[in-house]
Amino acid sequence: LNDGRYTMDFADLETKAADPANKMLILCHPHNPVGRVWTAAEIQQLGDICRRHDLILVTDEIHGELCYSWADYRPVSALAPELNDRLVVCTGPSKAFNLPGLRISLAIIPSPALRERFTVGLRDLNELFGFNRLGMLALQAAYEDGGPWLDALRAYLEANYLYLRDFLERELPQIRLTPAEGLYLAWLDCRPLGLSDAVLQQLLTDNARVALEPGNHYGPEGSGFVRLNLACPRALLAQALARIRRALA
């Protein structure tokens, strides 16, 4: 975290990649929970590490359709096509189209050789025939006909993000919004409040009656942060923020 913006620690990644026990690097793009959309330069540098140490690059791009208008999200396969021989892209309609209950997802593997290894692995796990027909039809409908709906959703989520930003700047400057480029989730820096994670959660749940996800669920680096879901009616967001403001008064 540098000046409020999350960046990759390439030196640390290089060290870990050099360990022969490591065979794979997993990247979240856009990143959950901090909302970063990685740039072409960052992806290129990461790809160089993968090639030097012969790592498979697995990218979680499940939130790729949910980026803000000021972000330049492009899939890793488009940013660095030279990585396609070692790339596995994991995605699906569950986030953008709100279909998690249908249990349908995609693994896009450009390399035939790597795809065969993946297929053999699924077969060995007895997972190759676990698809459900309804989920497949929903996926097809979402990707073929859901464009206008998705555009409207993105506009609403972006307006919610801007509402949250303006509210915090005006009413709760002691809580800092991490600048985001994607997701429907906001990463809030509550460290200026000077509260422990336990006290912060107690204040939010017991006093404000608002349940936010503790940042330390994502590791010790998330201590002092909380994750807020913006995918809700704006009136509900406004009510939650007003409750938090009263609890902190």
Q: 10-140 in CATH: which number?
A: 3.40.640.10
Count of Cβ atoms closer than 10 Å to residue 21 Cβ: 5
Is the confidence at residue 223, as pLDDT, over 70? Answer: yes
Position 33, amino acid: P
Average pLDDT (100-127) is 90
Q: What is the pLDDT of residue 2?
A: 83
148-248, what's its fold? Aspartate Aminotransferase, domain 1 (3.90.1150)
Q: What is the pLDDT of residue 128?
A: 62
Residue 62: which of 73, 50, 70 has the closest Cα?
Answer: 73
Q: Given CA atoms 75, 76, 81, 87 in this order, what sign does their dihedral have?
A: negative
Give the whole-angstrom CA distance, residue 29 versus residue 57.
Answer: 12
Give the whole-angstrom CA distance, residue 158 versus residue 156.
Answer: 5
Give the whole-angstrom CA distance, residue 168 versus residue 10.
Answer: 32
Q: What is the pLDDT of residue 4?
A: 82
- Over the chain, what is the mean pLDDT? 96
H-assigned helices in the chain: 10-17, 40-52, 76-79, 112-124, 133-145, 147-171, 197-202, 234-248
Domain map (residue ranges) of the chain: 10-140, 148-248
pLDDT band at 129 (very low <50, low <70, confident <90, very high): low
Residues contacting 75, CB < 8 A, separation 6+: 59, 61, 64, 89
Average pLDDT (216-243) is 98
Does 10-140 match 148-248 in CATH topology? no
User: For 89-110, how does the pLDDT look when each residue is reduced to its tens digit (9 = 90+)?
Assistant: 999 999 999 999 998 999 999 9
Give the whole-angstrom CA distance, residue 247 versus residue 106.
Answer: 43
Coil, strand or helix at 57: strand
User: For 33-83, how does the pLDDT look when each residue is reduced to its tens digit (9 = 90+)?
Assistant: 999 999 999 999 999 999 999 999 999 999 999 999 999 999 999 999 999
Question: Which pTM was predicted?
Answer: 0.93
Is the confidence at residue 166, as pLDDT, over 90? Answer: yes
Give the whole-angstrom CA distance, residue 34 versus residue 44.
Answer: 21
